[in-house]
Structure 1
Amino acid sequence: MPVNLPADIKGLTDEEVLLSREKSGSNTRAVSGKEGPWRLLLNLFKEPMVVLLFAASALYLVSGETGDAIFLASAIVLVSAISLYQDTRSRNALEKLEAYTQPSSRVVRNGQLIEIPADQLVVGDYLVAEEGTLVAADGLIRYAHDFTVNESILTGESLPVAKDTTQPAVFQGTTVVSGLAIAEVTAIGARTELGRIGESLQNIREEKTPLETQVGSFVRKMVILGAIVFALVWAVHFVRSGQLLDSLLKALTLAMSILPEEIPVAFTSFMALGAWRLMRMGIVVRQMKTVETLGSASIICTDKTGTLTENRMQLARLYTPAKGQIVTLDQAGADESGLIRTAMWASEPLPFDPMEIALHRAYGERTQADERPDWKLVHEYPLGGRPPMMTHVFQQSDGQRIIAAKGAPEAMLAVSDLSETEKKEVLAALQEMSAEGFRVLGVGESTFSGDAYPERQQDLPFRFLGLVGFYDPPKANIPDVLHAFYDAGISVKIITGDNALTTRAIARQVGFRGWEHGLSGDELMQLSDNELKEKALTTSVFTRMFPDAKLRVVNALKASQQVVAMTGDGVNDGPALKAAHIGIAMGKKGTEIARQAASLILLEDDLARMVDAVAMGRRIYTNLKKAIRYIISIHIPIILTVSLPLFLGWKFPDIFSPVHIIFLELIMGPTCSIVYENEPLERNAMQEPPRPFSETFFRGNELILSIIQGILISVSTLGAYQYGLIHDFGEAETRTLVFIVLIAANVFLTLVNRSFYYSFITTLGYKNRLVPLVLGITILLTVLLLTVPPLARFFGFILPDVSLAAGGIAAGFVSVVWLEGWKAFRRLRG
């Protein structure tokens, strides 16, 4: 298809691009706050657990216990390596996301219009900026038509600013509101106006999400508790023994057992890796907080064109008042050819919209002499009005003009010269075409002399030429997608600018619930806020919607405590996408403004990916809860097993030392942050209703259940302790038995907590290769500690006989397996 570029704009050649890049660099800015390996390593030594390990290691060294000091120093290296590994995984995932969210730009190079990533722009490029895009570099306008930009990011002024060759400066980061311009790039990257103020923008801290706040609050409380217990244990032990260093070691041991440093690591890992998994599925996460919101989505508001339909617009039906009948493209005569020609002139010279592309294609196929290179766009009325229309004025060098308009049929009829009888005939044809599912536009032409164009396009005198109908078939997978949403308890609403008849026809074809009843944008705006809250919940089809109406629907649903996901692709969708809890932009047909306003981007414009995204959101949230409940449950027996013998004055008060605690921490870390993160979606997850967004992460009943798990494991470990005392076991034998019980309980707890609904036997069939790997390593290391003499001596263990080991394993199993009865009760009740 020929592109109507100005003849004097050829753009840079490939060689000139390379020279410019070598001279001026790339269109990127250095981002502050990105931490290198040394900075990450330095941050590790601010972590409470690492500080405690350093302190314990130093105390052992001072007290002459070199072996323990070396072990704890080695543990510091191991803990740091695990933390760096997790951090690197998270950062790599985020860097890949950044690459995917890189905006693209259209430029003229070698005389051709091409699309490139915005970071490949160079000084001297000719950048094409059109409605719905972000300006990707600073430049000077060389060609423009009714071009306006929003410069609020730089000036704070929200009103559009008109730009042309007399006011030529455009700036990176500004938004094109209307029209089209070609600008020569003069500055890129850090040298742009936006780049100069980039540091202040980067220093703006994002507000923490509710889940992040809850997790942070919980960890802070545990740290404070650890500090209090540390002081208390040190004081008690020092008063009893009078030994300063030994008292500090005992206090540090208990502080280590209390500190839940795995929780923030697990939270960060789950969110970053969840976003990375979504990216691999074709869903780009632009805002990390969206990952935790996905599982709460209760309503999805979707566009029709390109979302429910294929977005393969084909010109299929034509109607002219002169002929008075609807015809196919093959039946088109001279009147219909004129209709196609005018509709093409009413489209953008560089078409982006699928319908405009179809009109250009149809014109090109039917004309013998292409007129497009001979005419110049001299004036443009962008899409506007309710319902909307748009008008273009083209002119030849001899002064001849073409004034062509297209838009909603109702808009064109309102400004046309037809009689009431003729309007009724057109409306009847419109109803017939719409009822068959065609997307219909009205087309008109006008005449005007002089250059003082009316301010409003509706003030021009129009002659109505006819209707053009496009067919965009429903996507084959949409019925299955809708059923998946309905099964998951998620309501679906259509919000479209199309008319009611066309929308209902498509909705009926795909099995959309509630297609029979709808509400138009104008009707919606007449409702009060309270009336709209009720209507928004009960209405499923919203037609002839405009930006303010879309925004009101989203806000009304949010006011009803719904978690709203909203799909969109155009400039007019920006406010609603920004307002929704989950704004979803289309990666292919979406404008840059829509993509920047959204929190998710569907790379393939496929709504089925949103089913996957919701499932992933539920999976991440559920698995994070499993991890944190595991951490709570396993920390309680460690805390009680270390503290109670000391406080109660039992025979062996130092049953566990820092080396035992750090060994247990090294086992628990990978379990919570690696094993549970890799757990698959549970079978019933997409048949459950969405969780309320206001739901507290640490719900009372769940927290109580985790505490009960921890207490019962503690009963087993302390019961084993007392069993050893009753049977006159020595300290090493008692410690060995207690350790076996705790390790066995940890292994079984990992398996049992993989689901709080299905039995652990069922979950053994889940595909997670890390479960046998991590548990196998845990068991192997435990066997080595008990059977290899040097290791056993170092940890204060003995080689247990078979009956003692079996008894410890059985005690650990019994302390955890009771949960299976509770899960069976849930299944029976469910």
Structure 2
Amino acid sequence: MSYNIPDHLKGLTESEVAASRELYGYNRLQTGHKSTWLYLLIDILKEPMLILLIVISFIYVIVGDYGEAAFMFFAIVAVTAISFYQDSRSKKALAELEKLNEPLSKVIRGGEVLEIPTHEIVIGDLCLTEEGKIINADGRIVHSNDFSVNESSLTGESFSVFKDSKSEDNFIYSGTVTVSGLAVYQVSSIGKETRVGQIGESILNIKEEISPLQIQIRRFVKGMAVIGLVVFLMVCIFSFIKTGDLVKSLLSGLTLAMSVLPEEIPVAFTTFMALGAWKLMRHGIIIKRSSIVETLGSTTVICTDKTGTITENTMNLKHLYDYGSDRTYEENEFEVDELAELIDYAMWSSEPVPFDPMEITLHKTYEQIRKNDLRQEYQMFHEYPLEGRPPMMTHLFENDKQYRIIAAKGAPEAILDVSRLSVSEKEKIRTVVKAFGRQGYRVLGVAKSHFEGNSFPVKQQDFNFQFLGLTVFYDPPKKGIREVFQRIYDAGIQVKVITGDNADTTNAIALQAGIINNTSAVNGNEIIGKSEKELIQISDRTTLFTRMFPDAKLAVVNALKKKGEVVAMLGDGVNDGPALKAAHIGVAMGNKGTEIAKSAAALVITNDDLEKLVVGIAAGRRIYTNIKKAVQYIISIHIPIILTVSLPLFLGWVFPQIFTPVHVIFLELVMGPTCSIVYENEPMEKNTMKLPPRAMGDTFLSWNELGISIVQGLMITFGVLFMYQYTVQNGGSEEKTRAMVFTTLIFANILLSFANRSFFYSILQSFRNRNPLFVGISALVLVLLFMILYVKPISNFFNVTTLDMNELGLALLVAAISVLWFEIYKFVRVIW
């Protein structure tokens, strides 16, 4: 886009930019330290599991068992490395998202208009701001064109203020919003030194609100930690009373405490969310907060704009209706003399530097039709921005000879209301508008006025307008949009269209796009003034909301939320800001979206493609489902570890310490990667987008799901303890019994990880979902198991003996029976 900027505004050179940055730094509010590897390491070492390992290691050193101590220190390094890898991956993904979320700013440097990351603005820069943009530094206006700014973020006053270089207050401030026009300002303050930086630095200390899922997971982990502490004390006391050996009692208690702590769960949650957001970024979906991924999967209602979301946003000028001749002209007839005035005033009522697709089309039509281009001769000296219900806008131009052009355009109803027409004439034009609307066309009215003097009316509606005619645009639905909406409906999600267009046009486009609608459209004016109960009823039953303005959009979103819906709101304009902020998931368009919309939204779709939101919802459901699978796996496998460590001790069996800390930490090292790396990589199950969305308030694990995990854990426990008793009854030594129990538990762990890939499909069906990490990690675990069993120094260290093929086969059979009963349960569940 070209800008009409005076030649003398050249901006800084590269060397001047470097010198300014050296002196004043970057345009950032935050000055706190970045997350370095050292901070990550310190955070990891605070984890309860690491603390337990360190305590056990020192106990082994004190009693002189240096082999066990060395293994524990190795385990500390291994657990730390895994956690460090997962944390650094998460932090790296979030850092990439942060970079993409940073807005770009336009600056003039070396005589050229450039787009740069906002943090690179320096003092002395010439910044350019225009309608809908957030101002990103403090500065003095040096050039402007009909510029007005909303400073409510600083002053609390919601009205816009017109400013220029000659104003008494010609400064503009970071965090404020350009309402109209264009301005070039020279930067005087950046970062913490801006006015918003000085009053708002405390915002940096506000913690992000945690999601319902995070709350539930934290409660679960805290509950397990409390249970672990109680069990630790019980085992210590019981063992000490029985043996009188304090060190052995401490080790027994600590072993059990390690088996109870589900420290993998919070790590898995962080990993799943951060990597989920990062993967969506690669699809062109930028997430502001990684926890929003969880909410995406719960979406029950999508509120979408029409233009540019459902439609292509091409805005082809298909027809012109000339009021003077009472005739509609086709595209190939625009060059006739009768249309000259209508085309002229339609163009003059548009922005001098257009960015709206309709205005761009009107300028192009003017260029093609009018041989004598007068745009360079006239300057816009007064503007009434788009406003009203329905909206209209008016521009005033003047040339050197003081000849004026006053042009207005807007919704046909708005232009008709201010035009000198009889009731019957207005009714005739409304009939024409309705006929166009039923074909899916977007219609604008055009009018002209005359005014002497400079005491202009406060409101544009007070001018005396002459109606000229109608411009008729066609913005066709996007290719493939019907299939997109079908996928949304298949997923049990409702669709609401919220648009500024009229009911006839919206209804026609909705029909062409495959939107299901069985009720009449509701106008924005019908929303305001209704009670909360009435609003909920209207919002629930209505699909098409037309002639909507900011307050009405916000009212609909809030009403849907009150009803218990999880609302995704799609918007691109300044007027969408409140509704985007209020929705559970505000979605801004990356291409045509204003900075206001992008800053208010929680999610940005880079190419304005509604299908990307469906991709995001599918990803949210996949991630939520996979977290549940991981947590259910963790619960199921912790139960046999806890009971195998504790029951032989409490029941007075012959080998009370069948597992020591060495065995438990090996199992923990197996489980950690399985749940947080392997399950995170698990593809979406084929029925995921055919199921209705889960209710937002649902408990993370229902009692039924928790019950299944507990039963799975108990069945594995029965198998493992059966193997214990079977080996003992057949004269097995402690080492043989330990080897049989340990091997059975490892086999069961591998089979469980495969069985829990789906709680609906069988293991064989799940293999169709390719996840190489499952096979890789399972193979690695088996290699490590066979090294423990058959490499003499290692088997001595783990206090186990070798197993022959019959014993291995028996361990595998018992493990299979204790896990694969769940396949029968799945089969029966599907039938019923």
Query: Considering the TM-score relative to the shorter chain, is it more than 0.5?
Result: yes
Determine the structure 2 residue equivalent to 1:352: 355
Q: How far apart in 1 are the matches of 2:668 and 2:538?
A: 54
Letter matched to residue 56 of structure 1: I
1:773 is the counterpart of 2:773 = no
Determine the structure 1 residue equivalent to 2:483: 480
- How far 1:817 moved relative to its partner? 0.5
Give the match's secondary structure for 1:595: helix
Q: How far apart in 1 are the matches of 2:375 and 2:524?
A: 36
Q: How far apart in 1 are the matches of 2:351 and 2:575?
A: 17
Q: How far apart in 2 are the matches of 1:67 and 1:159?
A: 75
- Determine if contact 1:321/1:422 at 8 Å carries over to the other structure: no
1:588 is the counterpart of 2:591 = yes
Letter matched to residue 632 of structure 2: R
- How far 1:453 moved relative to its partner? 2.0
Q: TM-score, normalised by structure 1?
A: 0.97
1:439 is the counterpart of 2:442 = yes
- Determine if contact 1:4/1:372 at 8 Å carries over to the other structure: no
- How far 1:120 moved relative to its partner? 3.6
Give the match's secondary structure for 2:380: strand
1:457 is the counterpart of 2:450 = no
Determine the structure 2 residue equivalent to 1:490: 493
- How far 1:801 moved relative to its partner? 1.3
Determine the structure 1 residue equivalent to 2:633: 630
Determine the structure 2 residue equivalent to 1:117: 117
1:205 is the counterpart of 2:207 = yes
More deviation, 435-444/122-131: 122-131
Give the match's secondary structure for 1:372: coil
- How far 1:181 moved relative to its partner? 2.4
Name the CA shift for 1:10/1:379 in 2 (closer, same or farther; >3 Å): farther
More deviation, 155-164/518-527: 155-164
Letter matched to residue 274 of structure 1: G
Letter matched to residue 210 of structure 1: P
- How far 1:338 moved relative to its partner? 2.3
Determine the structure 2 residue equivalent to 1:69: 69
Name the CA shift for 1:808/1:720 in 2 (closer, same or farther; >3 Å): same
1:239 is the counterpart of 2:259 = no
Give the match's secondary structure for 2:340: helix
- How far 1:12 moved relative to its partner? 4.4
Name the CA shift for 1:405/1:421 in 2 (closer, same or farther; >3 Å): same
Determine the structure 2 residue equivalent to 1:296: 298
- How far 1:788 moved relative to its partner? 0.2
Determine the structure 1 residue equivalent to 2:574: 571
Letter matched to residue 36 of structure 2: G
- Determine if contact 1:297/1:690 at 8 Å carries over to the other structure: yes
Q: How far apart in 2 are the matches of 1:399 and 1:159?
A: 31
Name the CA shift for 1:265/1:387 in 2 (closer, same or farther; >3 Å): same
Aligned pairs for 1:517-556 within 5 A: 517-525=520-528, 527-556=530-559
- Determine if contact 1:507/1:515 at 8 Å carries over to the other structure: no
Name the CA shift for 1:793/1:286 in 2 (closer, same or farther; >3 Å): same
Letter matched to residue 97 of structure 2: L
Q: How far apart in 2 are the matches of 1:13 and 1:459?
A: 49
- How far 1:239 moved relative to its partner? 1.7
Aligned pairs for 1:219-238 within 5 A: 219-238=221-240
1:749 is the counterpart of 2:752 = yes
Name the CA shift for 1:340/1:122 in 2 (closer, same or farther; >3 Å): farther
Letter matched to residue 220 of structure 1: K
Determine the structure 2 residue equivalent to 1:328: 330
Q: How far apart in 1 are the matches of 2:376 and 2:29?
A: 39
- Determine if contact 1:374/1:396 at 8 Å carries over to the other structure: yes
- Determine if contact 2:631/2:675 at 8 Å carries over to the other structure: yes
Deviation digits for residues 196-236 of structure 1 (CA, Å, limit 9, x no counterpart)? 45642211111211100000011111111111111111111
Aligned pairs for 1:10-409 within 5 A: 10-12=10-12, 17=17, 20-21=20-21, 24-32=24-32, 34-109=34-109, 111-165=111-165, 166=167, 167-197=169-199, 199-332=201-334, 333-409=336-412
- Determine if contact 1:318/1:327 at 8 Å carries over to the other structure: yes
Letter matched to residue 318 of structure 2: A
Show structure 2 runs of 5+ residues with no match: none
Sequence identity percentage: 51
Q: How far apart in 1 are the matches of 2:151 and 2:44?
A: 42
Aligned pairs for 1:678-757 within 5 A: 678-757=681-760
Q: How far apart in 1 are the matches of 2:177 and 2:641?
A: 57
Deviation digits for residues 482-540 of structure 1 (CA, Å, limit 9, x no counterpart)? 10011111111111100111111111112221166311112233543222212221211
- Determine if contact 2:29/2:201 at 8 Å carries over to the other structure: no
Correspondent of 1:499 among 497, 502, 510: 502
- Determine if contact 2:192/2:201 at 8 Å carries over to the other structure: no
Aligned pairs for 1:652-671 within 5 A: 652-671=655-674
Name the CA shift for 1:52/1:619 in 2 (closer, same or farther; >3 Å): same
Q: How far apart in 2 are the matches of 1:414 and 1:161?
A: 28
Letter matched to residue 424 of structure 1: E
Deviation digits for residues 350-375 of structure 1 (CA, Å, limit 9, x no counterpart)? 22211112122222233334332332
The Cα RMSD (Å) is: 1.9
Give the match's secondary structure for 2:801: coil
- How far 1:251 moved relative to its partner? 0.8
Name the CA shift for 1:611/1:467 in 2 (closer, same or farther; >3 Å): same
- How far 1:114 moved relative to its partner? 4.5
More deviation, 186-195/267-276: 186-195
Name the CA shift for 1:617/1:264 in 2 (closer, same or farther; >3 Å): same
More deviation, 564-573/343-352: 343-352
More deviation, 179-188/767-776: 179-188
Give the match's secondary structure for 1:123: coil
More deviation, 662-671/98-107: 98-107
Q: How far apart in 2 are the matches of 1:157 and 1:68?
A: 69
More deviation, 673-682/426-435: 426-435
Give the match's secondary structure for 1:373: coil
Give the match's secondary structure for 1:136: coil
- Determine if contact 1:32/1:202 at 8 Å carries over to the other structure: no
Letter matched to residue 248 of structure 1: L
Deviation digits for residues 578-613 of structure 1 (CA, Å, limit 9, x no counterpart)? 111111110000111011111111101000111111
More deviation, 678-687/188-197: 188-197
Q: How far apart in 2 are the matches of 1:518 and 1:155?
A: 38
Give the match's secondary structure for 2:107: strand
How many equivalent residue pairs?
Answer: 829
Q: How far apart in 1 are the matches of 2:740 and 2:478?
A: 63
- How far 1:13 moved relative to its partner? 5.4
Q: How far apart in 2 are the matches of 1:87 and 1:227?
A: 27
- How far 1:719 moved relative to its partner? 1.2
More deviation, 240-249/582-591: 240-249
Deviation digits for residues 693-733 of structure 1 (CA, Å, limit 9, x no counterpart)? 11110211000110111111111111111112211211000
- How far 1:421 moved relative to its partner? 3.2
Give the match's secondary structure for 2:376: helix
Give the match's secondary structure for 1:466: strand
Q: How far apart in 2 are the matches of 1:388 and 1:115?
A: 32
- Determine if contact 1:504/1:516 at 8 Å carries over to the other structure: no
Q: How far apart in 2 are the matches of 1:396 and 1:2?
A: 22
Name the CA shift for 1:109/1:454 in 2 (closer, same or farther; >3 Å): farther
Give the match's secondary structure for 1:220: helix
- How far 1:157 moved relative to its partner? 4.8
- Determine if contact 1:4/1:349 at 8 Å carries over to the other structure: no
Q: TM-score, normalised by structure 2?
A: 0.96
- Determine if contact 2:27/2:122 at 8 Å carries over to the other structure: yes
Q: How far apart in 2 are the matches of 1:557 and 1:81?
A: 46
